[in-house]
Chains A and B, each alone.
Chain A
Amino acid sequence: MATDPMAEIRASFFIECEELLESLQDALSDMDEGSHDNETINIVFRAVHSIKGGAGAFGLDALVAFAHRYETVLDELRSGRMTITPDAMKLFFQAADFLQDHVRAARDAAPPPEGSEDCLVSLEALIGGGAGPVVEEEVTDFQPMGLAFDFGPVDEAPATPVWTVRFRPSAALFSSGNEPLHLLRALGKLGASSTTCDLSRLPPLESLDPESFWLEWVVEITGDVTDFDIREVFDFVEDVCEIEITSGAAATLPSGAADFAMPDFGMPGAAALDLPPLTPDPEDPVPVAAAPAPQAEVIAIAKSEPRVEAPPPPPFVAVEMPAASGNGPAQREAASEPSATVRVDLDRIDRLVNLVGELVINQAMLAQSVAEAGLPPNSAVMTGLEAFMMLTRDIQDSVMMIRAQPVKPLFQRMARIVREASSAVGKEVRLRTEGEATEVDKTVIERLADPLTHMIRNAVDHGLETPEKRRAAGKTSEGVITLSAQHRSGRVVIEVVDDGAGINRPKVREIAISKGLVAPDAQLSDSEIDNLLFLPGFSTADQVSALSGRGVGMDVVRQAIQSLGGRITIHSEPGKGTRFSISLPLTLAVLDGMVVNVAGETLVVPLSAILETATLTDEDIRALGPNTNVIHVRGAFVPLYDLGAELGYRAPKSSYAGGIVLLTAQENGTRSALVVDSILEQRQVVIKGLQRSYGHIPGVAAATILGDGQIALILDPPDLVQNASGRTRSPAFALAG
C-alpha cells in the first residue's frame, strides 16, 4: 500500500545523501587545508551521522554499519581525543569515498563496495582498538535521520528515543481491507518494540458483535524512529482507527493519555478527525518540531499528495542547515550557502527549455511577418514586438539559469579520482581546483564526467613524473594537477593542467610512426605532434597500467567533448607540464548568432566566435602559396577561408575584393577570416542538434529553424578552420577538378 510514498522518500534520502557527501568532501578539504576548528569537524561528523541515521530508517544495514564505524572514529576527533595528521586525513578522505560507494550501492541495491573493511580497520587503528562491528542493538541506536539533531554540536548525543503508540482499530478498518496484524508488524520493524494487547474491554463471546472491534494495542518502540516513521505506518488507516503517538515509555505517559476515550467506537468514520496532536512532548529528547528557526526548506515537489491532516515535517529538512551557523571558514563559497531550494523533476525543466525554444522560433516568425507587412518602425506593433523580444530573452536567460549548475560536484568527483589514481601508481598528487562556482548546463556537466575522469587519470599516470624523477628535476615531490573552470568569450573553458614533464614529443612521434598513424618522413610541428595524442588507438604507455593505456584514449575524450559542441586543445612545455583546455558552449539550447548568406545558402555563425566583420579591399588580400590567401588586418596577417568553397557550395572566387569577412577567434588566440557573401541579421537561434541523426559534421555545430521556417546550419568556425583546405584561389580548384 505504501510503496509509492516510500520510494519517493527513499529517493529523496539518496538525494540528501549526495548533498551530505558533498558537504563532507568540502569540510574534509577545509580540514586538509588546515581548518581544524570545531565547526569544520562537526560538519564532517554531522554529514556521516545524518547518512547513518537515514540509512537506519531504511534498513540499509551495510551502509549503517560503515557509517557507524566511520562516525565512531570521527567522534574521537570531535572530542579532541585524536589529532589530525596527514595520514589520518588520507584515511578520512578514503572513508568518505567508500561512504559514497556504500550510498550508491544501497541506492542501486548493489553489493557493498569491496575494500571498505580494510579502510575501516586502518581508520580504527588511528584511535587504537576500534568501534568493532556494529551489533544489532546498536544499529537501531541512532538519532532520527538528519532532523534537528546537532544544533549544539558538541552536546552529548541524546538518549535513545522511546515512542509509545496506542492503536485502536475500528471495525471500519477491517471493512476497508486493512488488517492490524500488518500494521503491528510494520511497527515492529521500525525498531526494537514490545507490543501489549488490551483485552479488558472485550465482551464474552455471547455478546460479541463481530461487527465491532474491542481490542487495542500499546506498542513501545525504541530506536532510531521518528514520529514521521510511525505515522507513516498508519498513513492509510488514519481515518479508521485511533492512534496516539507519544514520546517516552508508556509508564511516563501523562495520566490523561491513559484515558484515551473514544467517543463512539462502534461507528466507523465518526472518529476520523479526532486524532490526538502529532507533535511529541515538549520534553521529547528528539525535538522534531523544535528546530531553530533559520531553516531552509526543501520542498519535494513531486511529493504533494494532500494528507488528511497537517503533514509531519519533511524528514530531511535539516540537511541544508549545517552551514547556517555561519562561523565556519570565511572562504566558504556562496554556492554552499544554504538557500531556499525547490526540487524539480528534470523532465519538467527540459520541457520548459523546449517550450522556450519554440517561443523564440515563434517570435522570430512573428517578427518576420510583421516586417513583411511593411509596418512603420515606430508603429505600436513594432514597439510591442520589441518589448516582446526583450521579454522572450529574459525568459530564456532565466530558464537557462535553471539548468545551470556549478561545476563543484564534478570537481569533487575528480578529487576522488586523483586520490585513487595517485595511490594506484604511487605518486604524490595534489589537486587544486579553481572556479568551482562556475555554472554550466547540467547536461554538459553530466557528460563531462567521463572525459574529465579520463584526462585526470592520464595526468596522474602519464603527465606527472614519479616522486624520484620530480626531485631529480628540482621539483617538489608532490605533483600538482590544477582543474579550473571559467567563462571566456561566451563559452566555458575547463582546463586540466599538470606540472609534470610535458609531452615527450620524440616518443609520441616515434609511436605514431610505428603505429602507422603518420608517415615516417612527415614534418610535424610541435603542436601537430601534441595533437597526435587525439588519434584513435594512440597510447603512449609502454605497459598497460591499471589506470590507463588500454587503448581507450584521448580520441574518445575528444569525441565526447565534440558531441557536446565543445573542443579540446592541448598545450605542452617540456619539463613544465601539459595543459588540456576544453571549451564548451554555455548552453545546449540557444545561441546568439549572425545569420549570413553564402552562395545562396543561409548559415548561422555563433556570435561568440566573431571578433569583428570587415569589407575586403584588394590591398588587404595577399597571396600565400599557390592556393591560399591571407588578409592584412590591424597589423597582422590572418588566413582567409572562403565559406562557400570550404562547405562545397562553390569554387573559390577569383577575387575577394569587396567581399565581407568575419574575423573569428579560436581558444588558442589565433584568428582566421571567413568570407561570406552578405550578412543578413543578428539574432538568437534555437539549437537543434544534428548529432543524433548525422553524427559529427566537421565545421558544423548544429542546425536551427529560422523565422521563415527555413533550416540553417550553425557553423563551428574553429572546427571548420581546423579542417579547412584554405583554398581561396581558383588554380587549385581547377587542378583538383
Chain B
Amino acid sequence: MTTIALASRLDLSQVTPLATALRGAAGADLVLDASAVTHLGGLALQVLASAAKSARQAGTSLIITPRSDAFDDALAVFGLSPADIQTGEAA
C-alpha cells in the first residue's frame, strides 16, 4: 500500500508531477491523501480519473482518503462522485 499526499493546489503546474507520481506507483494499491487539497482543477481531475481507470483495469485499488471539503465540493461541481475516481475497497 502506497500513500501519496496530494498538493494543495492541483492546478496546471501540478499536473505533470502528479501524473509522474501516479505512474511511478502503478501496479500497487494506492491511497491518495486529499486532505490538504484546496483546489482541484480540471487537468488534475483528468489525471486522477485516468489513474482510477488504469487501476480498475489492472485490478489494483486506488482510494482517495481523507478528502478535504474543497476536494469533494470541486468533484460535485464537476458532476462526479468520489466513486468515479476510485476503485477497489477502502482499506
B43 touches A174 (CB 8 A): yes
Check if A174 sits within 8 Å of B12, measured CB to CB: yes
In the bound complex, do residue A181 and residue B50 qualify as a contact, i.e. CB atoms below 8 Å apart? no
A179:B42 contact, CB within 8 angstroms = yes
Q: Could you tell me the distance between the alpha carbons of A721 and B36 in the complex, rounded to whole angstroms?
A: 83
Query: Given contacts A205-B22, A205-B51, is CB(A214)–CB(B46) below 8 Å?
Result: yes
Q: Are A213 and B43 in contact (CB under 8 A)?
A: yes
Is A210 engaged at the interface, CB distance under 8 Å to the other chain?
yes
Query: Cβ of A174 and Cβ of B50 under 8 Å apart?
Result: no
- Tell whether, in the assembled complex, residue A210 and residue B15 are in contact, meaning their CB atoms are under 8 Å apart: yes
A199 and B53 within 8 A (CB):
yes
Chain B residues, CB < 8 A from A179: 11, 41-42
Give the Cβ gap from B56 to chain A, nearest Cβ, in Å.
9
Q: Is A506 an interface residue (CB 8 A)?
A: no
Contacting residue for B53 out of A185, A205, A217, CB 8 A:
A205
Q: Of residues B40, B57, B80, B84, which shows the largest number of chain A Cβ atoms within 10 Å of its Cβ?
A: B80
CB distance from B29 to the nearest CB of A (A): 15
Instruction: Give per-residue flags for A209-232: 1 if the beta carbon is below 8 A from chain B beta carbons, else 0.
Output: 010011101010000000000000
Cα distance A179–B42 when bound, in Å?
A: 7
Residues B43 and A208 in contact, CB atoms below 8 Å apart: no
The B interface, classified by DSSP as helix, strand, loop or mixed, is helix
Interface size class of A (residues with CB under 8 A): 20 to 34
Hey, which chain B residues are within 8 Å of A214, CB to CB?
46
Counting CB contacts under 8 A, is A197 at the interface?
A: yes
Chain B residues lying within 8 Å of A215, measured Cβ to Cβ, are 42, 45-46, 49
> Which residues of chain A from 576 to 609 have a CB within 8 Å of any chain B CB?
none
Say which residue of A194, A195, A203, A204 sits within 8 Å of B78 (CB atoms).
A195
Is the CB–CB distance between B42 and A174 below 8 Å?
Answer: yes
Say yes or no for B7: interface residue by CB 8 A criterion.
Answer: no
- What residues of chain A lie closer than 8 Å to B80, measured between beta carbons? 197
> Known: A175-B12, A185-B77, A210-B15. Contact between A203 and B50, CB under 8 A?
yes
Q: In this assembly, does A347 line the interface, its C-beta being within 8 Å of a C-beta of chain B?
A: no
Cα(A226)–Cα(B23), bound, Å: 44
Question: A197-B79, A204-B54 known; A181 and B12 CB under 8 Å?
Answer: no
Q: How far is the CB of B4 from chain A (nearest CB, A)?
A: 13
B28 at the interface (CB under 8 A from A): no
- Decide: B47 and A181 in contact? CB cutoff 8 A: no
Q: Which chain B residue shows the least CB distance to A219?
A: B79
B32 interface residue per 8 A CB criterion: no
Binary interface encoding of chain A residues 353-366 relative to chain B, with 1 for a CB under 8 A from any of its CBs, else 0: 00000000000000
Closest Cβ neighbor of A178 among chain B residues: B42
Question: Quick check: is B37 within 8 A (CB to CB) of the other chain?
Answer: no
Q: Is the CB of B78 within 8 A of A181?
A: yes
Of the A-B pairs whose beta carbons lie under 8 Å apart in the complex, a sample of 19, sorted by A's number, is: A169-B42, A174-B12, A175-B12, A179-B11, A195-B78, A197-B84, A199-B49, A202-B46, A202-B49, A204-B50, A205-B22, A205-B23, A206-B54, A208-B50, A210-B19, A210-B43, A214-B46, A215-B42, A219-B79
Closest 8 CB pairs of A and B: A195-B79, A180-B42, A204-B54, A205-B54, A197-B79, A208-B50, A205-B50, A205-B51
Q: Which residues of A contact B (CB under 8 A)?
A: 169, 174-175, 179-181, 184-185, 188, 194-197, 199, 202-206, 208, 210, 213-215, 217, 219
